[in-house]
Amino acid sequence: MTLQYQLKEGSYHLYDLSTPPSRVTGEHRLRLKSDTVAIAFEASTGALREHGSPTRIHSWANNARRRLRASGALDKANDLVVVSGPLPVDEINKCLKIDGYCRDMLGKLHDLPHGKRIQRSATHNQHTTH
């Protein structure tokens, strides 16, 4: 399954690119629509564990941490990181495609632009006349 996020109408849309495009819309199967996105990964390796709506991902991470701590794997529980918010779509998609990229993204998180402002400013500039 090949997944890709796109920002449309102010929402993140997750498409399954392994499905054929619709004959009507030309779009691949929509798997998720959310105002923001969360990514759960291992800080030490950057390995992606889960992604999707923040509520679901934070819940998944809390449960995973609880199970890991209960089994005595404190280091693994503490290594699980969740990043959420209006992240740039290209950074989210790199996390999905490139093994370990989440760790790189975490390192530059403070420098990343607001994910929704990138798209809006580009759209705004196209329709502005001087």
Q: Hey, where are the domains in the chain? A: 36-127
DSSP 42: E
What phi and psi, each to the nearest 5 degrees, are found at residue 78?
-75, -20
What is the Cα–Cα distance from 119 to 8, expressed in whole angstroms?
Answer: 9
Element (H, E) at 15: strand 11-16
Q: Distances in Å between the alpha carbon of 58 and those of 26, 37, 40, 61, 83?
A: 33, 11, 8, 5, 9
- The pTM for the full model equals 0.82
pLDDT mean across residues, the chain: 88
pLDDT digits (tens, 9 = 90+) for 31-89: 999 999 999 999 999 999 999 999 999 999 999 999 999 999 999 999 999 999 999 99
